[in-house]
Amino acid sequence: MKYKLIGSNDTNNIIKTVLNNRGIEDWKGYISLSKAPRDTYDNLDNIAKAVFAFDMHYVQKNPIAILVDNDVDGICSSTLMYKFIKALDPDYDVRMYVHQKNKSHGLDGDFDIDSDIKLLIVPDAGSNDIEEHKRLYYELGIDCLCLDHHQVTVDTSNSPAIIVNNQTSDRYENKGCCGASVTLEFCRALEELYWEDICDNLLDLAAVANVCDIMPITEFETRAIINEGLSNINNKMLQEIIKAQDFSMKGIVSPHTVGFYVGPLINAFIRMATFEERQLLIRAFCEDESETFSYTKRGESFPTEENIYEHVVRLMKSYKGKQDRQRQNTLPTLIKKGKECEGNVALIDATGILDTSLTGVVAIKVSESLNKPTLLLQKRNDKTYGGSGRVFDNCSVEDFRAIVDECPYTTLAQGHPGAFGVEIPAENIELARDWLNNKLADVDMDKVYDVDFEIDAENLIIPMFQALDQNKTLWGHNVNEPLFAIKNLRISSANARICGKSQNTIQIYDDIADVKYVMFFCSGKEELYQWIDNNWGDDEAIITVVGTLGLSSFGGKLDQQVIIKDAKIEKTIQN
């Protein structure tokens, strides 16, 4: 186990130190953010053109279509736009278009446009689809409005579409926001035009979208939207999802809990649901309560009536369970194939083993198991392999996507630094494997934990745990929960044990500091696990652990608790 101390190691002001370490100097201003800004939309390029175009169609009562992109941001952005128009005029003709393929994005042509549509709004996508812009405008007579946040990689100067994109707007400072934020800004501009007050009731959609699209919440504007939106969940579909996940979320709606328990449920549904079911999903988000559903519970003879929210959440949980089972069933085979890959990069052919919709969620598990950057590929046709690239947490390779993109034998590497889509010509597979392994041949693949604090076990005090528990809703993407390197923790058979139904949990109690240490989901191969499991005598060990601090409640008692991420035995003492 390796770790690196970052920052000042000032344990006298835990929250200030952590936020400073995340690049947030005005830490007091950051933790007090409550209201999202209302006046920044004017800094977006083409916003006036977009408002003019919308108003022209709106006053003429032209039917408007909204294209729903296939991810949480796409769903929330489209819903936000739909709900705004319906708040302006409940009877307005707004049509939601859903992609027929669950992995389609943008204007890729797998949807049908009604002949009477005059305006197509594309939230969270479309900036780079220049040829489709031209086809819509010149061949079909349809104005296209893209409300996007993705990088623009083509020349858009000849596009007839109106593109509102924070990335291409020099005066718009917040580059770390999602499509729903850009859509919200557009609606704010319309709100001013029509003298309405609608957007505040739609902030929950923008908040969930920013969290689930993994936007950096170090941006004050994004953080403010998240704070205000998550404190007022108005959308009935979101309310039902949060209700269904309440046990896991423990009643806390925060960036962390939404990212871990709301987003994955929606994403599992999008990956595996049928076209008709995905249409049902957007109807539920748009709060269409015109239909109820019958469902017969297992072991019962008579059907139960469900509303649309209950029905969709039940389908979500079913697909999430199916996805998890498929992932677990295929992991051993893929990990075995990965172990056969020499070098520091695993390039694995998963053709015929794994559903293509699960490539990304499985690739990260394979990478974590192998402790090396991984490309999980499937044969798309005789000439091309495609799939996902992933790196394990705390990997020393900071931008694997850039390295794969640099490789002369790959044709695509798009996405985030540690999670992205990739394409490689079939004839280049071995060449790409060799090039990547040569590129990373000298890189140490051991996990290196960036820790905010380094402290002796005996110096842990109650206020540290309390401060972190009181501020637990702060943590999210780029504002990660702080890690502690805790040294000189003394263990023996008297205070360390293996427990749990599956005997896969380590529990240590330090009676000097009155702190409980817990390490969940152990494989049994860990150095610490084996030492505890085999120590039946009076031997002792001095260990260092890396973990997070908090308070846990059991039987009405609050315990100071450290969740162990990793551990190292520094010294053993034979008695």
pLDDT digits (tens, 9 = 90+) for 302-333: 888 999 999 999 999 999 999 999 889 999 99
The whole-angstrom separation of Cα 186 and Cα 163 is 11
The C-alpha R_g of the chain, in whole angstroms, comes to: 26
Whole-number pLDDT of residue 355: 84
Whole-number pLDDT of residue 147: 97
Whole-number pLDDT of residue 365: 92
The whole-angstrom separation of Cα 420 and Cα 403 is 12
Give the up-direction half-sphere exposure of residue 152: CA atoms within 13 A in the CB hemisphere: 21
Chain centre distance of CA 326:
20
Closest of 95, 103, 99, 123 to residue 111, by C-alpha: 99
Whole-number pLDDT of residue 109: 72
Whole-number pLDDT of residue 447: 86
Q: Is 139 exposed, middle or buried (0-12, 13-18, 19+ CB in 10 A)?
A: exposed
The single residue listed with the structure tokens 């003429």 is: 60
| Distance spanning both ends of the chain, measured CA to CA | 26
Whole-number pLDDT of residue 354: 87
Q: What is the tally of helices (H) and strands (E) in the chain?
A: 19, 21
CB 100 within 8 A of CB 115: no
Mutual angle of helices 236-244 and 263-272, in 10-degree steps: 100
DSSP 430-476: HHHHHHHHHHTTT---S-EEEESEEEEGGG--HHHHHHHHHTGGG-B
CB 344 within 8 A of CB 375: no
The whole-angstrom separation of Cα 45 and Cα 168 is 7
Q: What are the φ/ψ torsions at residue 348 (nearest 5 degrees)?
A: -120, 130
The whole-angstrom separation of Cα 374 and Cα 348 is 8
Give the up-direction half-sphere exposure of residue 289: CA atoms within 13 A in the CB hemisphere: 8
The whole-angstrom separation of Cα 84 and Cα 62 is 16
The whole-angstrom separation of Cα 185 and Cα 164 is 10
CB 479 within 8 A of CB 217: yes
Whole-number pLDDT of residue 425: 95
Q: Extract the residue ranges of the chain whose pLDDT is less than 70.
A: none
CB 224 within 8 A of CB 177: no
Whole-number pLDDT of residue 453: 98
